[in-house]
Amino acid sequence: MSNITLHTLSARKQAGEKFAVLTAYDATFAHQVSSAGIEMILVGDSLGMVLQGQDSTLPVSVEEMAYHTACVARGNQGAMIMADLPFMSYATPEQAMDSAAALMQAGAQIVKLEGDAWLCESVSLLAERGVPVCAHLGLTPQAVNKLGGYRVQGRDKHSALKMLEDAKALEDAGASMLLLECVPSLLAEEITRNVDIPVIGIGAGPHTDAQVLVMHDMLGITAGRTPKFVKNFMAEADSIQDALQQYGDQVRDGRFPAEEHGFD
């Protein structure tokens, strides 16, 4: 496929066309994922859990994220690469700029930060300096200790309204994308409708502009409990490449996620 850019994905949103996002952490899987036509690769700090065996994403460092981003960049065949800024690597705007510089120099084309309106200053500074930002709202795994576990966010009226306001504030600050994790489907639909930038969902229902899954989850090889929003695409596939292509196709044509993958 031709190189995917922010312009490509923004045009998809305006045309009402969905796109697929999937994690990868090395050159081999980056090649497979991008060759399957997946539009965006997320080098997630989820690598702490699925690669390193940690019990959360918190131990992951900027240096580790830069290493895996560089590996992905070497195997990538035209997908856009997004990389997570890990825990406490963007607590101040100055820190955010230093951390983002390391990931962009390693091969990222957009960085993702977890948090709400408090991020606006950092988002603005990064955007002004040529660093595209995806703001991650809803369940933010780096804040799992504060949230009291992996819980659906935005279920009451007050928190839902705040999330909508935060989404608009981050867009106004210069965010190029939003990611909503474990958010009620109706709230995710409202946020997606009320911002002009692409919205990626995970456990956020079928109405966002894109979907993301952890690759190990959608291949059915993650140990332990499978989240409600995950579908095992290997169950009906002949190969990993077939499973990757089915995932992309089903996201684009609206078959995934189905109603049972979302939250009320």
Cα–Cα distances (Å) from 92 to 61, 118, 120, 132, in that order, read 16, 10, 11, 17
d(CA 36, CA 124): 34
Burial (0-12, 13-18, 19+ Cβ within 10 Å), 164: middle
Whether 181 is catalytic: yes
Catalytic residue among 181, 189, 190, 260: 181
Helices (H), 114-259: 120-128, 144-147, 157-173, 185-194, 215-218, 240-252
DSSP 227: P
112 in a labelled binding site:
yes
Question: Does 114 appear as a known binding residue?
Answer: yes
212: left (phi over 0), alpha (psi -120 to 50) or beta: beta
10 is an annotated ligand-binding site residue: no
Q: Is 46 annotated as a binding residue?
A: yes
Of how many residues is the chain composed?
Answer: 264
156 is in an annotated binding site: no
List the binding residues.
45-46, 84, 112, 114
Active site members: 181
Annotated binding-site positions for Mg(2+): 45, 84, 114
> Which residue positions form the known binding site for 3-methyl-2-oxobutanoate?
45-46, 84, 112
